[in-house]
Structure 1
Amino acid sequence: MASIMRSSVLRQTALAAKPAFRNNAVKAAAFHSSAQRSAILPPGPQRIEGTVNDPVPIPNPSAVDGSYHWTFERLLAAGLVPLSIAPFAAGSLNPTTDAILCSAVLLHSHIGFQSVVIDYIPKRTYPGLRKFFWWGLNLATVTVGVGLYEFETNDVGVTEAIKRIWKA
């Protein structure tokens, strides 16, 4: 009961305290709806294709879009665990292990962000925006790959940098 009364008690207190606040205080409600806020993004185009009784289109079978892709993602994610521990556990900072680790992290990140683009920017609704983000992701992946290559060849490398930061 006290939580129901609280907003009206606060409103009455505000009305009594400040007469200039009176016009805005009347507009305040105990429960606000989202209709008062402006939308962050406008809703996508609303259209219905076909009827309720139309069958769902079955995609053509493809090894790239199916279980092979999912299995590769899981193997890559599972392989990152020993790859991230191996250089520190073995005590040797091998540039080959470092390059494999950087490549696996870069590929894992690319596949993850690619899934975000696929899930949240539908090709049917926003074809231009999806293509823009797709090329932006490819450009970012190449840029990070070149940056990691430069860091590995001209500097100390990723595992050595992590080791130095950890001991700092």
Structure 2
Amino acid sequence: MASTLVKPIQFGKLMLRLPTTAAFGIQQQQRMTLRTARPLLFKSSKPTQLFGDEVPNPPTVPQPAANRIKGSYHWMNERAVSIISVPILATAFIYGAHPINDMLMGIVLPLHLHMGFQQVLLDYFEQRRWPVVGRVFKYALVTVTGLAMFGAWRINTTDVGLTSYFSRMWNANKKKNIDDSQ
């Protein structure tokens, strides 16, 4: 004995209410679902194995030791340097030149650039494929970063400081145009 039901059927954003019998409603619902096999129809005598025997069990996988410079902490260090650079740059824009802020900027900005370029070198010049070129670029990056930090230190200690230096560079063309027009 089939009773007549009003079953809501959804087509996209439309909701249709069609009078159906109970059996027809179940068939309609089955047609609208994904076409997958029911798990009850298939019985297996042995437990399911998703991967073959070549995949080792987690306790047997050797875990590398945590290293503060490479690998496990590298991503966290990159994010910390990125977050630290925001208030340092904001302080330079808001308050202007200050020796402590200039010194922090001379450390954090080259370090931030070093970490970014290091990831580029790791992605495009991996050790397996480019053993010599990758090593040369890695040492060149360390050298350039050291020179950038030394240059920032020299500007901060013997010249006007990084904030004033960049401010003068930014406004140099404007002053030149003013001098030329007079």
**Shorter-chain TM-score range:** 0.5 to 0.7
* SS of equivalent residue, structure 1 residue 143: helix
Answering whether residue 56 of structure 2 is matched by residue 79 of structure 1, we say: no
After TM superposition, the structure 1 stretch with the greater mean CA deviation from structure 2, 156-165 or 119-128, is 156-165
Q: Deviations over 1:98-135 (max 9, x none)?
A: 01011000110111111111111111111111111111
| Candidates 141, 144, 148, aligned match of 2:148 | 144
Q: How many Å separate the matches in 2 of 1:143 and 1:163?
A: 22
Q: Distance in 2 between matches of 1:123 and 1:55?
A: 25
Gap regions ≥5 residues in structure 2: 1-52, 175-182
Residue correspondences, number: 116
Q: Give 2:131's match in structure 1, choosing from 127, 131, 145.
A: 127
Structure 1: unaligned runs, 5 residues or longer: 1-52
Alpha-carbon separation, structure 2, partners of 1:88 and 1:150: 21
Kindly indicate which of the two structures has a greater share of residues assigned to strand: 2
Trace 1:45-124 onto structure 2 (pairs within 5 A).
Answer: 55=55, 60-64=64-68, 65-91=70-96, 93-124=97-128
Q: Which has the higher helix share?
A: 1
Flag the structure with larger Rg.
2
Using the size of structure 2 for normalisation, the TM-score is: 0.55
- Relative contact order (alpha carbons < 8 A, sep ≥ 6): 1 or 2 greater? 1
Q: Deviations over 1:14-52 (max 9, x none)?
A: xxxxxxxxxxxxxxxxxxxxxxxxxxxxxxxxxxxxxxx
Q: Cα RMSD over matched residues?
A: 2.4
TM-score with structure 1 setting the length: 0.59
Aligned residue identity for 1:96: I
Query: Counterpart amino acid of 1:104?
Result: V
Partner Cα distance (1:131, 1:150) in 2: 29
User: Offset of 1:55 from its aligned partner?
Assistant: 4.9
